[in-house]
Amino acid sequence: MTHVLQVGQLKPSLAETLRAEYDALVLPQDGDTSSFLAEHAASIGVAVTSGRVGVGTELMRALPSLQAVINFGVGYDTTDVAQARERGITVSNTPDVLTDCVADTALGLAIDVLRRISAADRFVRRGAWPSEGNYPLTHRVSGKRVGILGLGRIGSAIATRFEAFGCPVSYHQRTQMADSGYRYLPSPQELAAAVDILVVATAGGSGTRGLVSRDVLEALGSDGYLVNIARGSVVDQPALVDLLVSGRLAGAGLDVFADEPKVPEELLGLDNVVLLPHVGSGTVETRAAMERLTLDNLAAFLADGRVLTPVPEVVS
């Protein structure tokens, strides 16, 4: 009998469906999985997981009968897609359904960090307005030069939103898009040097690790702002912290971090940094759509060995 395995914590309703309709096994989360795998590994054909957890190298090696990894989320850098490709394991994700909400989050972070909305809210709540007077002036968003690092589905949706604010948009990615209508710059560093707001919207994984390096952040400069709704691994986090603390970067809006849920202590007291707990797609509507697509991918694979939305690296 082929079993479905739940790897990591999932949306409660999704986990319940896996249990009730698929009699899914659940990988223990206490750190000791050896006895569980010894008993069940040979029978596990499909793993259902999330972008935050994934099916990493060691777990995938321990599942000799694995045929598919069904991912709840658009990011899949936590899954060993290279090994999956070698073994013919299908990997799916949930693109498109979360594009708008993540793009909304990117725009919201930019508005918040430039206008200091969260900081001004804290100013009012601590009773500082009557005693300290008017809040200091902030910076406008409209008309700012925006750079998008990664002009995929989400990056394009972000660009459209900034266009509505009268912002000229430039971008960089590995391949120039002939019909994008936006200015292309040949490197992340050149993009950063040419814009006021750099939005990171590229995929995670080994291919983009540290792509936003210290040199890129320094090119963005003391008047520049970073917004990251991609993966924390894409940015040199120690360099980012150093530049923010020393005032060599104007501010940052961050939904993702290098070692979640840990956030650098140095950032917690900075009013020019907005910190979110990886909630870019965290709306009722989007998470429901992600759940439906995850279950549709699972059902499709079990029915005929194909998924509706395979990830590009391991198209089946």
Q: Catalytic residue at 248?
A: no
In angstroms, the CA 309 to CA 188 distance is 29
Distance of alpha carbon 228 from the chain centroid: 8
Cβ neighbours for 197, distance < 8 A, ≥ 6 positions apart: 110, 114, 141, 144, 145, 146, 147, 162, 167, 224, 225, 226, 227
State the catalytic residue, choosing from 260, 266, 285, 306: 260
Cα diameter, the chain: 70
CB 189 within 8 A of CB 217: no
Tokens standing for 93?
């994700």
Taking CA atoms, 277 is separated from 92, 142, 254, 263, 288, in Å, by: 24, 26, 9, 9, 19
Q: Catalytic residue at 58?
A: no
Q: Catalytic residue at 285?
A: no
State the catalytic residue, choosing from 52, 214, 278, 313: 278
State the catalytic residue, choosing from 116, 161, 172, 231: 231
Residues designated as active site: 231, 260, 278
